[in-house]
Every structure is written in structure tokens, then in C-alpha cells.
Structure 1
Amino acid sequence: MNRSPAIRRRTSFAVLVLVVLAGTGWYVAAQVRQARAEHAAPTQVEMAEGVLDGPHVLFRGTAPGDLYGRVAAVALDDLSGPREVTPAVCDRVDSDGETTVCLRTRRGVVTTYEAEVLDAAWRTTASWPLPGMPSRTRLSPDGLVATTSFVTGHSYAATGFSTETTVHGADGADVSGNLEDFTLLADGKRLAPVDRNVWGVTFVDARYFYATVQSRSEGRTWLVRGDLAERTLVTLLDGVECPSLSPDGTRLAFKHDARKPGDVTPHWTPAVLDLATMTVTVLDAEQRSVDDQIAWLDDVTLLYGLPRADEPGTTDVWSLTADGTADPAVAIPQAWSPSVVE
């Protein structure tokens, strides 16, 4: 029995769809197998023991292979040298040598996020859930832990992102609640924008801190000085994001939105604020957009992470002089989220 042309066309189309689906399934399966093999392959980095016993920089390793995401350290006087790798796996990390805060993603049927406090032996001493993707963390000299998570969105360049920033004790106790609930004072007047976001805490001591507050309805992004005792955020300056206090306490490094008129996407350039004069120095020796909370290597050098354009998932930690007189240079290859431990 001859089939009609319409039936033959439908049959041929169905066969074609099955062939395409089979080919697509094979390709996806092959890519998954390749990704797993690459993840299981030995990470090609030079390693050493004893680095953690002296002054060092702790960071998240991003070299491909089985050590990807593991926290590691390089000697403070040999940043590009061999690294000691720890058991901890973190997205973001900060440490004073005795206590380490680790923000991590736990992937599974349901992906969850958490903050962990680790002791010098890398044992978990406290932990609490995070409401979304980890973004920023800082550990105070007095054992306080600040964390920022994306509740919606996954980038500060995105429209409509929302964050939650909190301060906990090293024992996991909630100290602040959501910093968005603090009283916001701008030019002495109380503001209560419903769309405010707070992120990028850097501690002065156990009471005071600096952070960023943004309100899209107000069209403002402020540097604020926070007070944990009074539960206030007092605005100091516009246009300061992700501040980081210098070791001598006199300056803040931050990312400055240097986009040109008409540009929609932010272009963040490192900058330094002198707290005594409130003078800003934009470090335009760095021409790339730096979406990171800058760390201070010492009183004259900044550290920050940048992704490699040609290697997805791999990042490097770069250095730049705080006065912008030298060009940026790779400080720690295949690294992210640096923390100086002296």
C-alpha cells in the first residue's frame, strides 16, 4: 500500500527529528564526560608545604583540574611561587590566619548556599545558610563576619538585582540581621527607599564599618559608615562601591563606575578615597572593568581578581599600586578572592 506524499513527509520529518535529538544527546553526553574528565585531571600547579606557617596570601584556586575551587596559599614574599592547598572548597574566602570565613555553593538536586567559619585546622566551627549566590565576605579583627549574597540576579551590572548583607559572630550568632533594615541617614535626613541594597562591608572595628548602599528609585549609590550599636547607615559620598579599608585605616579602595555618557553597562575602575580629605584618586592605569572587592596587599599595593577572557572559569589576582603610578600586573595566577595573612 502506497503512502500519500503528506504521510511520507511527516514520517521523514519524524525520522529527522529523532536523528537530531540522538545527535544532540550524544553531544551533550560527550561534553559532560569531557567536563568531568577535565575536573578529575590533576591540577597543574607547583605545590609546597609549610606556606601556611608564615605570612601568606590565602585565595580560591581557579586552575583547572581536581583542585579547582580549593583554598590555597602562597608566601607573601613570593606571590607567583608554589602554593599550599587546603581541604576547604569556597567561592569566597577571608582569613586572619586563625579563623577563616568560607562562602560556598552546594550543588545538588536543590542548590544551596552557606557560610562556614573554619579554624586553623580547617574544621568547621560554625555555619549558617545564605539566601542566594555568595558575593562578598569580610572578617573583622574582632571576629565578626560580613556576608553579601545575591537574592535575585547574579551581577552588580544587572538591572533589578537584590542583595542581602548581614553580620554574624564567628560563633554563627546573628549580630545585625539584614543591614537593609538599619536606619539610612543622608545629609542628616532619614531615607527609607524600599529598593535599597547594601553590599561590600569592610570593618573598622567591632562596631563601625563602611559599605555601599544603592537605591535605584533615588538614583544614588552611596558610601556609608555603619554603626552596629546604633543600627545606622550614614552616607558619606556618592559613587563608591565595594569599599576596602587600608591597613593603616586612612584610605578606602573601591570600584568607581567610569562608564561613558550613554553607556548602559557599568565600567568599574579601581579608585582610592583619602578619608581625611575625602579626595578620590581614580586609578585609570587599569583599563579593564574590575567587578571585585579590592584587597590591600600592604599600604601601597592593591589586589583584585579578573577573569581570563579566553579561559572560562579561570581568574587571576592582579596587583596595582594605590597611587596608580604603575601598570597592573598579575600577582597570583589562577586565583580569586585574595586575603592577606601576616
Structure 2
Amino acid sequence: MNGRRLTWALGVLTAVALGAAIAYAGVAIAGLQSRATAVAASTPRPVVPGGRVLIFRDTSPGAHYGEVASVPLSDPSAVRTSLGVHCDRVYATHEDLMCLHTDAGAVTSFGATLYDAAGDSLKSWPLPGFPSRTRISPDSSLVAQTSFVTGSSYGTAGFDTRTTISAVNGVDYGNLEGFSLFVDGQKVTADRIIWGVTFASDDNTFFATVSSGGHLWLARGNLRARALVAIKDGAECPSLSPDGTRVAYKKNISTTATKHWTLAVLDFATGVERELPIPASVSVDDQVEWLDDGTLLYGLADPAAPGDSTVYSVKADGSAPPAVFLRHAWSPSVVR
């Protein structure tokens, strides 16, 4: 083969090789893009539906067990819409959705993720233990979370919790155990446990349960002052009414070491506490949610079906017994 033919042959081979390389690179890039698109498509985006809806954890058996779902407030029996993300506890407004979750793996971990209404992740936090309670302020500017450090329920002897409050856009107020606590005008310096935050509408006032030295109080919190003031004995997991005039909570009525909770509502103006007509056989270990200014929602585990639960409603004035509101549901959150 003469030099000219050899040069031509080498050129052809080089072009073929280069073309093959470019084609392979194109296929590889397309494959990577395809995989990236598939991953992006499979990433949960819990978009908060418009209108008045109930957001909750779906406990119905099947493919959507444990996922966040929604139904219209006007028709809770309607077909539920899955939001795709798994949460142990959930709370939502029209602006944000807070998800406390358990992440299984070689080592189980716990976390909290805050999403905006479009389903984009805004913030995330590691949790020191099992998810327990979460709330978002009425204007969606503040978020609170409680998790167990030791124990797995409020009926467990020696349980401990960690509760934090953060601004959605701004300061992190940190662990509420760092706040000052005042009882009857005296500062309490002993160790305390705090859980179950509920927010007022002024971006500063909140309520929570505080336990110290074997005693338990409902406390009013002041974020800017970083202080808590006890206002009532024996009230746990408070929930402020939409009009801000009353607070509902669970109340231990057991005379033994085993706790048994009923529900009660305190009217701030009169100081009158009203126990609600919860059946004596039922113990309500939940932070209730207000459906409206006259009705409460709460969850109960189904003793006949482990892992399942039901949301009940009850009138806040005690005028009617509880009724089933939504079966196969937990952690109700009313988006008005």
C-alpha cells in the first residue's frame, strides 16, 4: 500500500472511531439524562392542594400506606389524593407542609422536612429520636417539631423529648429547654421537658406543655423574650382555637401510674375548663386539631388493626359525643 492510500485508510479509520466515540458519548449522555429525569420524576413532591382540605397520614392498607394524603373538608368521604411523601406526623397550611419522617436503612434515622406549597423542599433537620408532634403558625412563618429522645410515648416512664421552633425564613430559636421557665412568679432552674407547641397569630406567642420535677403545666411562651410562663396545671399537647379564645388539650384522669387521657377545653376569658364526652374506655394520646371554632379532630389507633387509625370529631362545647370523621387516617391537619 502506497503512502497516499495508507493515509486515506488511516483517515477513514480515525473518522469511524471518532464517530463511534461521539455516538457512544451521545448515548451515554442521553442515558444519564434519562436516569436523572427518572430520578427527578420519582422524587416526592407533596404539592398542597388549593381550597379547604384535610391533610393527613394515610393508614389504609395498600400501596399508599404511610403517605400524606388529602380530602376536601366539604366531603371527607371523597376519593383521597396521595401527595406521595411518607410521614409519621404531618402538618400543613396553604403555604407550607411539615413532614416528620423515619428513614429506614442500615441504621434507622429520623428527620423533619419542610416543603413549600409547590412541593419543593425548603429546610430539613435531623431529629434525635422518633417523630412526635409538629405545628406551623397560622401565617406560615414559624414551625415547631417535637421528637422523643428516650421512650416512644408520653405514657412511658422516663421519656424525654426535644422541641424546637424555627422561622421558615430566618432565625432558629433552638431547643425550648433553653428558654426561661416561670411558675407562680418564680424562675424554675431544674431540668424540664417541653413538648406539643401550638402557635398564636402574632408570630411571638405560643403554648406548650412543660414538665419539671414530676409536675406538669400548660405554659404560655414568648419567643422574643425566650421565656415560658406556667398558666395551668395538668394540660398536655395544647391546640389553640382559630379565634384564639380557647385552648384544647389532653388531660390525664388516671389515679394509677398508667396514664389515661381525656380531652378538655379551657376558655381564656372565663378560666372555665370543660371536659369533653370522650368514652371512659378511650384514652386519647394525640394533639388535637380544630376543624373550625366549634369542632375538634383527633386520632385514635385501631386496637383491632395494628398500624391503622381513625380520625374522630367532637364538639368543643361538649354538646355531642365523638363521631367518626375519617377512617384509615392519622395526624389530621386542616388547611382553611
What amino acid is aligned across from residue 337 of structure 1 in structure 2? Answer: S
Residue range with higher mean Cα deviation, 224-233 or 137-146: 137-146
Does residue 61 (structure 1) correspond to residue 55 (structure 2)? The answer is: no
Contact (CA 8 Å) 1:202, 1:245: kept in 2 or not? yes
Does residue 147 (structure 1) correspond to residue 142 (structure 2)? The answer is: no
Match of 1:320 among 293, 311, 314: 314
Deviations 1:242-291 (A, max 9, x none): 000001100001001111x3x11111001000011221101133431000
Match of 1:203 among 170, 195, 199: 199
2: CA distance, partners of 1:80 / 1:286? 24
2: CA distance, partners of 1:182 / 1:51? 33
Does residue 166 (structure 1) correspond to residue 159 (structure 2)? The answer is: no
Contact (CA 8 Å) 1:285, 1:326: kept in 2 or not? no
Contact (CA 8 Å) 1:185, 1:233: kept in 2 or not? yes
Does residue 132 (structure 1) correspond to residue 129 (structure 2)? The answer is: yes
How many Å apart are 1:175 and its aligned residue? 2.1
Deviations 1:143-197 (A, max 9, x none): 11100000000110011000000001224x5522110111110000001122x10
Contact (CA 8 Å) 2:238, 2:287: kept in 1 or not? yes
Match of 2:324 among 327, 330, 333: 330
Contact (CA 8 Å) 1:243, 1:294: kept in 2 or not? yes
2: CA distance, partners of 1:224 / 1:126? 28
Residue equivalent to 2:232: 237
Contact (CA 8 Å) 1:304, 1:338: kept in 2 or not? yes
Contact (CA 8 Å) 1:140, 1:203: kept in 2 or not? yes
Residue equivalent to 1:296: 290
Matched position secondary structure for 1:180: helix
1: CA distance, partners of 2:222 / 2:158? 27
TM-score scaled to structure 1, two decimals? Answer: 0.81
2: CA distance, partners of 1:98 / 1:178? 24
Residue equivalent to 1:250: 245
What amino acid is aligned across from residue 95 of structure 2 in structure 1? Answer: E
How many Å apart are 1:123 and its aligned residue? 2.1
**How many residues were matched structurally?**
287
Contact (CA 8 Å) 2:48, 2:118: kept in 1 or not? no
| Structure 1 spans left out of the alignment, 5+ residues | 1-49
How many Å apart are 1:51 and its aligned residue? 9.5
What amino acid is aligned across from residue 78 of structure 1 in structure 2? Answer: D
* Closer/same/farther in 2, CA of residues 60 and 188 from structure 1, 3 Å limit: same
Matched position secondary structure for 2:177: helix
What amino acid is aligned across from residue 297 of structure 1 in structure 2? Answer: L
Contact (CA 8 Å) 1:97, 1:341: kept in 2 or not? yes
Contact (CA 8 Å) 1:88, 1:122: kept in 2 or not? no
| Structure 2 spans left out of the alignment, 5+ residues | 1-46
How many Å apart are 1:126 and its aligned residue? 1.3
Matched position secondary structure for 1:52: coil
* Closer/same/farther in 2, CA of residues 282 and 102 from structure 1, 3 Å limit: same
1: CA distance, partners of 2:60 / 2:69? 11
Residue equivalent to 1:78: 75
How many Å apart are 1:121 and its aligned residue? 2.4
Match of 1:267 among 254, 260, 265: 260
Contact (CA 8 Å) 2:277, 2:320: kept in 1 or not? no
2: CA distance, partners of 1:333 / 1:124? 29
Contact (CA 8 Å) 1:51, 1:83: kept in 2 or not? no
Matched position secondary structure for 2:190: coil
TM-score scaled to structure 2, two decimals? Answer: 0.83
What amino acid is aligned across from residue 148 of structure 2 in structure 1? Answer: F
2: CA distance, partners of 1:181 / 1:83? 41
What amino acid is aligned across from residue 301 of structure 2 in structure 1? Answer: P
